[in-house]
Structure 1
Amino acid sequence: MDVGAALLYPFQWLVSAIMVGLHDGLSALGMPAASGWTWTLSIIGLVLVIRAALIPVALRQVKAQRRMRRLQPELRKLQEKYKGRTDPLSRQAMVQEQMALYKQHGTNPLSACLPLLIQVPFFFALFTVLSGITTAAISGKGIGAMSPEQVVQFDESSIFGAPLSASMLHGTPGGGNVVAVWILSVGMILAMTAAQFITQKHIMAGTVPAESPADPFMRQQKAVLYALPIVFGIGGIVFPIGVLIYWTTTNLWTMVQQFVLDPRAP
C-alpha cells in the first residue's frame, strides 16, 4: 500500500461504514437489502451525514462572505487609488494593500472554497470504493467496512435498469441497461454542474468586487466559477452512477444551503 492509499484508507473505511450502517438501518425498516434504491438512499444519507457535520464550517464561510461585503467600499477606494496604474510596482502595491485589508478584517475571498476542499478526501474515498466494487465482487473481497457479500449485492443492484457500479466510460456490467446508464449519467452531470455554477455565482457576487476585473482574486474566483463545472462535467463520464448520486446530492445541498444561510440577492 503506497502513502496515498494509506492516507485515504481511513476515509474509505469511514465512508463505507456510514453507507453500510444506513443500508442496514433501511433494511431493518423493511426495504429490500438487495435493492438499488436501498443503496441509493444509503448514498444520499451519506451526503446528509457529511454535510450536516460540515454545517459549522458553512456558517464560518457565510460569515467570511459577509465580512467581504462590508469590505467592498474600502476595496473600491483602493481600486480608484490605483486606477490606470498598470506598472508592476503599482500592481504589487495594490495586491499588498488588499491582503492587508483582508488580514485586518479576518477574511479572504478564497474562504468560499473551504467546504469543498474538506469534502475532497471523502469524495475520493467513495470514488475508490465504488470504482472497485466490480473487481472486489469478482475476487470475493470486501472493501472498507463492506463485507464480500455486501460488495456483490451492491455490484448487482441497479435503479431504472442502470447498475450503481456502471459508468459511461468504463461500461455497463452484464444485465445492465446501457441506455439507462447514459440517460441517468447525463441527467445527473447536468444537474450537478448547474448547481455548482449557480452556487459559485452567488458566492462570487457577494464577496468579490465586480468593478475590478484586474483584481487577482476576481480572476481566481472566475476561474473557479467556470473550471469546476467543466471538471465535474468531464469527470462525470468516469464516475460510477453511485458517485454521481453522491456528487449531485451534495451540490444540490450546497446550492440550497448557500441561499438559506446567505439569502442576500447578488
Structure 2
Amino acid sequence: MQEDSSRNTIIFLVCALGLFIVYQMFVLEPAQKRRQAELAAARPAATAQQAQRPGAPVLNVPPAVTRAAALAASPRVPIVTPALKGSISLKGARIDDLYLTQYRETVDRNSPPVELLRPEGAPHAWFAEMGWTGANVPGLPTSDTVWTLAQGSTLSPGQPVVLTYANGQGLTFSRRIDVDDRFMFTITDTVANNSAAPVTLAPYGSIQRQGMPVASAGSQVVHEGAVGALGEDKPTLKLIKYKKWAKDGATGPIASKGGWVGITDKYWLAALIPNQGEALQGQFRDTKAGGLDIFDANFVGAARAVGPGQQVTETTHFFGGAKTVPVLQSYQDKLGIPRFDSAVDWGMFWFFTRPIFTFLQYIYSHVGSFGVAILVLTVAVRLLFFPIANKQYESMTKMKKVQPQMEELRKRYKDDPAKQQQEIMALYQREKVNPVAGCLPLLLQIPVFFALYKVLSVTIEMRHAPFLGWIRDLSARDPTTVWNLFGAIPWNPAHAPLIGGLLDTSLHIGILPLIYGVSMWLSTTMNPPAPDPTQQRIFQLMPVIFTFIMAPFAVGLLIYWTWTNVLSILQQYVIMRRFKVDNPIDRIIGKLTGRAKAAG
C-alpha cells in the first residue's frame, strides 16, 4: 500500500513538473512571440499635429522613419554632460533625444549606451515638451514651431542655451534651458506681451510615449507606466501600469498643489516637475492612433494674465535618467519634490524593502561589492534570528535523537493508530521536542527573501553588478547552463531545433542553481526523517524540484538562499555535535578520511 502511495506521489510530482514545462513551452513562449510580432507590426510611430493644449488627440499617423531620419528632420542643439548625450529639437523646442552614457544596454562593455528618449516619427517615440496654453490667444508655439537658438551652442553643465520665438502678433517667447551633471534640466520660460491687449496664459508640460513598450509585456513584479505625485493637501503617489492606462484611457484631471508627473520603466524615468506650491491640474491619458497607444502624462498650471508691456516667467524641471536612489533623494530634498524617491517601485511592503536596500547600500559603500553585501546581509539576518533558530534547531536535533524510540512505538502500536499517536505525543512532551520546529527558521526567512527579490528587481544599483567569476549581473539569472557544460562547449542551447526555447527557459540550469540544489539537499539530510515513506520521498525530491524553480531567479537571490542554507547547515551541525547525534557531515568526513587513510 505504501509503495503504491509513494509511486502515485512521484507520478504526481513528475506530471506537475511536466505540465509546468508544457505551459512554458506552448503557452507563455508563443504568447510572448505573438506580442513581439504585434509590436513589430505596429512600429509606425505616431507623429501628429499637436493642439496647443497638452493631451489633445493625435490627428494623423504618417509612416515611421528611422531614428536618424527623425533627428535630421529638425535643426538641433547638442546635449553633452558627464551623464547624458543627445540633442534638443528646435522644432517644437522638445527634449526628445537622450542617451544615458553611464549605463549600457548589456553587460558587454562595448554595448551601446541606454537610450531613453527618441524623437517623434521614429519607432517608439518618447519625448518631453513644455509651453503655454490659452483660450483665444493667437500665435502660441506648437509642436511645428521652429525656435531660434539665441544664446549658446551646446547644452552642458554651466553652459545654458536660450531659445526664442516671436509670433508676429506682439508676443515674444524665450526659453532658457540649464542642465546639471546628473539628470535634471531646468527650463525657464518667459513670455513678453508687446501687444496692445492683455492675454491669459497657463503653463503646461507633457511627456508623451508612443506605443506599448516591449519590456512591459507580462510585467507583474515591477511597475512600468504612469507615475507621479498629485494632490491638493498632500500629493500622494499615483501609479498606473501601461495595460491599465491603455484600458482606462484617462485618469484625471487631478487638482494638485505642486507634485510631479512622469512615465517610468523598470530602471529609467522621464518626469516633469512644475513649480512646487502652485496650483495645477495633472492628468494621465491614453489615445489611440494608427493602432498605437499614445501615452501622455501632463500638467496644466494656473492661468495668469499678462497685460500690455508685461511679462511672466515660469520654471519647470525635467528629469530624464536612471532611478538611482541617492540621486532621486537629493533632488527630492533640494527641490522639495514630494515622493520623488518613490519613483523606485518599493512595493506595498516598502517599509521592509527599503531598509534592506539601505543596508545593502551601506555595506556596499565599505566593501565595494553588492555580492559581498548580500553575503553580509545573510549573516546579519541569521544573527538577528539566531536565538529563535538555535532553539528550534535544538528541538529538531532532539527529535532526530528520539527517532529510534518513535520507530519502536510505531511498531508496538501499529494496529492502534490513536494509541500510537498518543504515545508519540507523550514522548515529544517528555523529551521537550517540537515536531514543527523546522518550519519556523524557514518562515522567518521568507520576508527577507521577498524583500531582497524586490530590491534586486527594481533598484538600478543591482543592474549589471558583478560578483565572482562568471557572475556579471546580480539582477539577472545565472548565464551558464548545464547543456553546454557551463560554456565549455561553444554552443548556445537556445538554438537547438524544437527544444531550444525550452532549454533556454524552463530547463536552463546554471552553476549557481546546482550549488543551491546541493546545499538544499544537504540541509534536508540534517533534518529528522518524515515518519511516512511517501513524505520521505517528497522531501527527497524537493531539492531537485526547487533547483528548477529557483534557476530563473536573479543570481543575487540564489546567493542569499544558498548562503542561508550553508549557515543553517553549520548551525545544525554544531548543535548535533553537542548533542552527540549522528549527522551526514560526520559520515561524509568519515568516508573521506577513511579513503585518505586507505590511500596512504
Q: Give the shorter-chain TM-score range.
A: 0.5 to 0.7
Distance 2:576 2:408 in 1: 25
Instruction: Indicate how the Cα distance of structure 1 residues 69 and 130 shifts in structure 2: closer, same or farther if over 3 A, else same.
Output: closer
Q: 1:94 Cα shift?
A: 2.1
What amino acid is the match of 1:121? P
Does residue 118 of the first structure (1) align with residue 444 of the second (2)?
Answer: yes
Distance 1:225 1:191 in 2: 16
User: What corresponds to 1:49 in structure 2?
Assistant: 380
User: What corresponds to 1:106 in structure 2?
Assistant: 432
2:413 to 82, 94, 109: 82
Distance 1:74 1:161 in 2: 48
Instruction: Indicate how the Cα distance of structure 1 residues 222 and 112 shifts in structure 2: closer, same or farther if over 3 A, else same.
Output: farther
Does residue 22 of the first structure (1) align with residue 359 of the second (2)?
Answer: no
- The answer to whether the 8 A contact 2:478-2:511 is kept is no
1:234 to 543, 548, 559: 548
Report Cα offsets for 1:144-168 as digits up to 9, x if no partner: xxxxxxx333213234363111126
- The answer to whether the 8 A contact 2:399-2:433 is kept is yes
User: What corresponds to 1:257 in structure 2?
Assistant: 571
User: What corresponds to 2:454 in structure 1?
Assistant: 128
Distance 2:534 2:432 in 1: 21
User: What corresponds to 2:518 in structure 1?
Assistant: 194
Distance 1:103 1:167 in 2: 46
Report Cα offsets for 1:183-206 as digits up to 9, x if no partner: x9611111111111112112225x
Structure with bigger helix share is 1
Which deviates more, 94-103 or 247-256?
94-103
Unaligned ranges ≥5, structure 2: 1-238, 240-346, 480-486, 493-503, 584-600
What amino acid is the match of 1:68? M
What amino acid is the match of 1:194? V
Q: RMSD across aligned C-alpha pairs, in angstroms?
A: 3.0
What amino acid is the match of 1:223? I
Report Cα offsets for 1:122-148 as digits up to 9, x if no partner: 1111112212x3xxxxxxxxxxxxxxx
Does residue 91 of the first structure (1) align with residue 417 of the second (2)?
Answer: yes
What amino acid is the match of 1:224? F
What amino acid is the match of 2:360? M
Distance 1:70 1:156 in 2: 47
- The answer to whether the 8 A contact 1:167-1:185 is kept is no
Instruction: Indicate how the Cα distance of structure 1 residues 199 and 74 shifts in structure 2: closer, same or farther if over 3 A, else same.
Output: same
Unaligned ranges ≥5, structure 1: 32-37, 134-150, 170-176, 209-214
Instruction: Indicate how the Cα distance of structure 1 residues 224 and 121 shifts in structure 2: closer, same or farther if over 3 A, else same.
Output: farther
Helix, strand or coil for the counterpart of 2:420?
helix
Structure with more contact order per residue of length (Cα contacts < 8 Å, sep ≥ 6): 1
User: What corresponds to 1:142 in structure 2?
Assistant: none
Helix, strand or coil for the counterpart of 1:204?
coil
Structure with bigger strand share is 2
Q: 1:23 Cα shift?
A: 1.1
Helix, strand or coil for the counterpart of 1:109?
coil
What amino acid is the match of 2:358? A
Q: Tell me the matched-pair count.
A: 208
User: What corresponds to 1:167 in structure 2?
Assistant: 477
Instruction: Indicate how the Cα distance of structure 1 residues 119 and 93 shifts in structure 2: closer, same or farther if over 3 A, else same.
Output: same
- The answer to whether the 8 A contact 2:397-2:527 is kept is no
Report Cα offsets for 1:24-72 as digits up to 9, x if no partner: 222xxxx4xxxxxx11111111111111222212321232134324534
Distance 1:24 1:79 in 2: 57
Alignment of 1:178-217 (within 5 A): 186-204=510-528, 215-216=531-532
- The answer to whether the 8 A contact 2:400-2:528 is kept is no
Instruction: Indicate how the Cα distance of structure 1 residues 10 and 95 shifts in structure 2: closer, same or farther if over 3 A, else same.
Output: farther
Distance 1:73 1:237 in 2: 37
- The answer to whether the 8 A contact 1:78-1:94 is kept is yes
What amino acid is the match of 2:447? P
Distance 1:52 1:155 in 2: 28
- The answer to whether the 8 A contact 2:473-2:555 is kept is yes
What amino acid is the match of 2:399? M
- State the TM-score, normalizing by the size of structure 2: 0.32
User: What corresponds to 2:538 in structure 1?
Assistant: 223
Instruction: Indicate how the Cα distance of structure 1 residues 188 and 161 shifts in structure 2: closer, same or farther if over 3 A, else same.
Output: closer
Distance 2:464 2:401 in 1: 54
What amino acid is the match of 2:385? L
Distance 2:438 2:420 in 1: 22
Distance 1:128 1:161 in 2: 19
Report Cα offsets for 1:66-97 as digits up to 9, x if no partner: 432453454244223223x2xxxx32442243
Distance 2:443 2:528 in 1: 17
Q: 1:231 Cα shift?
A: 4.2
Helix, strand or coil for the counterpart of 2:436?
helix
Instruction: Indicate how the Cα distance of structure 1 residues 107 and 202 shifts in structure 2: closer, same or farther if over 3 A, else same.
Output: same
Distance 2:410 2:564 in 1: 37
Q: 1:245 Cα shift?
A: 1.4
Does residue 155 of the first structure (1) align with residue 463 of the second (2)?
Answer: yes
Instruction: Indicate how the Cα distance of structure 1 residues 76 and 254 shifts in structure 2: closer, same or farther if over 3 A, else same.
Output: same
